[in-house]
């Protein structure tokens, strides 16, 4: 599918690749943008065109969000949004560097605590970023297509049922810790002895079977009781690596992704309504029923197709490819690069623009001779040394490079969709 704009850059109905090629050959259109590929007509306005209703459908996820655009019974676009998941690690790295700097520069500064207020509806930056990335992509589609509505899956996950499908009655209402504190519960569960050496009548500590440094959680299934000697000896090993695989078998998969969706579902819905486009909500059970009814495989983008009551009784897949949108960001502001131990090793220059190029711009390089001679299309890495620009691993001088598209913070790709 190719996006089409009128001569005033207003969205028109998308067309096929063949039709776009014909319009370009007849010089009725020009290329407006390469990624995603968009053409602009020279002789047509939105008022003179007949527009059909397009429905944008979203299947939100913690790591991947499924995307589909439907024109009646025709599926004209399938896509996936790959969320940026390194935000929490980046914030923790920045916090450790800031604390180290303050400890060196202002060692005797009075400590501060609870001096910042959180607004109502505050979300952690890692969760807020997922919502913003989804909204950013929706805004892109709104500028490129005449959207008549948005469908989004609105699901609340019951983490207690996910953890124990057989729980019911009073046990479901009160929970596993009814009448206990965490420590007392673990002491009684493991008979007040170390789970590794079996010692009794010694000070016991709460132990993570899968360490938090290795992605473990604070859920009860991942907690045990161990003596201090065994706890320190185990270190950052898992219980299986430490020689106790039977304990690790009891530790269940963390429910982080379900918690992410529960925390962001209302924020995403409210923000989508602010786009002045009708928003339809659908349950996860309805999505599954529609997908089974149409015989579609379990994929994020096919789940998006089946979201809501607007899913037609018959579906025609008009595209062979799945579009991939991955949020990369626009770089970072950190001027000092550090080694693995947090010590400065390199300082960035404040200047970002060299010979009219920025790092991340999509360029086309035509290197006449030398190593890597030929044409190369990709993202450029710029630096202050003339002639040392890098495109797809090939060093090339700026005079052989032509700008294709400025860096907009997104990485675009496509792959063949599995057949129905």
Alpha-carbon span 150 to 310, nearest angstrom:
10
- Name residues whose C-beta falls within 8 Å of residue 78's C-beta, 6 or more positions apart in sequence: 67, 68, 301, 302, 304, 305, 317, 319, 321, 322, 323, 417
Mapped onto helix, strand or coil, the DSSP state of residue 212 is: helix
Kindly report whether the global pTM for this prediction surpasses the value 0.85.
no
The predicted-structure confidence for 43-96, as pLDDT tens digits, reads as follows 999 999 999 989 999 999 989 999 999 999 999 999 999 999 889 888 888 888
Nearest in space to 332 (alpha carbons), one of 79, 97, 68 = 97
**Tokens read off for 156:** 């609340």
pLDDT of amino acid 67: 96
Distances (CA, A) of 69 to 145, 151, 266: 10, 10, 22
Which is more confidently placed, 337 or 84? Answer: 84
CB 100 within 8 A of CB 93: no
- Name residues whose C-beta falls within 8 Å of residue 233's C-beta, 6 or more positions apart in sequence: none
pLDDT of amino acid 262: 83
Domains of the chain: 3-41 (no CATH), 54-86+124-159+257-327 (3.30.420.10), 181-248 (1.10.30.50), 339-420 (2.30.30)
Helical residues (DSSP H) of 175-307, grouped into ranges: 182-189, 228-234, 245-248, 256-273, 284-294, 300-305
Q: How many residues does the chain have?
A: 420
Nearest in space to 403 (alpha carbons), one of 347, 373, 363, 369 = 363
Lowest mean pLDDT among 22-31, 134-143, 276-285: 276-285
Nearest in space to 248 (alpha carbons), one of 199, 194, 198, 195 = 195
When pLDDT is averaged across residues 21-47 and rounded to a whole number, the result is 94
Lowest mean pLDDT among 31-45, 50-64, 342-356: 342-356
What is the C-alpha R_g of the chain?
27
The predicted-structure confidence for 258-282, as pLDDT tens digits, reads as follows 778 888 888 999 999 988 899 999 9
Distances (CA, A) of 405 to 66, 71, 362: 26, 29, 5
Alpha-carbon span 405 to 360, nearest angstrom:
10
What does the mean pLDDT of the chain come to?
A: 86
Distances (CA, A) of 310 to 18, 71, 280: 29, 11, 8
The predicted-structure confidence for 198-233, as pLDDT tens digits, reads as follows 888 888 988 898 888 888 888 778 888 999 999 999
When pLDDT is averaged across residues 132-154 and rounded to a whole number, the result is 94
Helix and strand counts by DSSP (H, E) for the chain: 11, 20
Which is more confidently placed, 172 or 103? Answer: 103
When pLDDT is averaged across residues 168-173 and rounded to a whole number, the result is 57
* Element (DSSP H or E) covering residue 41: strand 38-41
Distances (CA, A) of 239 to 195, 198, 219: 10, 15, 15
Helical residues (DSSP H) of 52-206, grouped into ranges: 87-105, 125-144, 159-163, 169-174, 182-189
**Tokens read off for 385:** 């040394």
């Amino acid at each position: 599918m190719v996006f089409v704009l009128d001569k005033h850059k207003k969205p028109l109905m998308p067309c096929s690749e063949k039709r776009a090629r014909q319009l370009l050959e007849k010089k009725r259109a020009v290329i407006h943008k390469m990624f995603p590929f968009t053409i602009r007509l020279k002789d047509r306005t939105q008022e003179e065109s007949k527009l059909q209703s397009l429905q944008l459908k979203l299947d939100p996820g913690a790591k991947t969000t499924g995307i589909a655009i439907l024109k009646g019974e025709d599926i004209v676009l399938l896509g996936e949004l790959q969320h940026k998941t390194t935000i929490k690690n980046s914030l923790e790295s920045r916090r450790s560097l800031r604390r180290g700097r303050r400890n060196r520069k202002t060692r005797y500064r009075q400590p501060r605590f609870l001096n910042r207020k959180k607004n109502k509806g505050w979300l952690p930056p890692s969760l807020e970023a997922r919502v913003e990335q989804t909204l950013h992509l929706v805004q892109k589609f709104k500028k490129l297509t005449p959207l008549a509505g948005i469908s989004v899956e609105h699901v609340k996950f019951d983490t207690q049922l996910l953890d124990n499908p057989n729980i019911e009655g009073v046990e479901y209402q009160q929970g596993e810790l009814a009448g206990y504190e965490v420590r007392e519960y673990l002491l009684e569960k493991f008979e007040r002895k170390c789970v590794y050496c079996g010692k009794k009548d010694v000070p016991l500590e709460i132990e993570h079977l899968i360490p938090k440094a290795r992605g473990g959680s604070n859920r009860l299934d991942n907690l045990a009781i161990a003596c201090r000697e065994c706890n320190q000896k185990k270190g950052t090993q898992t219980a299986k690596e430490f020689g106790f695989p039977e304990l690790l078998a009891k530790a269940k998969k963390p429910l982080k992704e379900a918690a992410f969706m529960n925390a962001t579902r209302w924020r995403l819905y409210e923000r989508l309504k602010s786009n002045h486009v009708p928003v339809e909500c659908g349950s996860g059970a309805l999505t599954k029923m529609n997908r089974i009814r149409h015989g579609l495989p379990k994929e994020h983008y096919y789940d998006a197709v089946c979201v809501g009551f607007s899913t037609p009784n018959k579906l025609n897949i008009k595209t062979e490819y799945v579009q991939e949108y991955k949020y990369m960001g626009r770089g970072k502001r950190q001027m000092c690069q550090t080694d693995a131990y947090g010590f400065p090793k390199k300082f960035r220059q404040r200047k970002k623009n060299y010979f009219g190029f920025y790092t991340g711009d999509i360029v086309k390089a035509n290197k006449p001779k030398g190593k890597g001679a030929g044409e190369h299309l990709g993202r450029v890495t710029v630096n202050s040394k003339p002639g040392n620009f890098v495109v797809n691993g090939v060093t090339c001088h700026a005079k052989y490079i032509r700008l294709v598209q400025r860096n907009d913070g997104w990485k675009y790709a496509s792959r063949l969709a599995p057949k129905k």
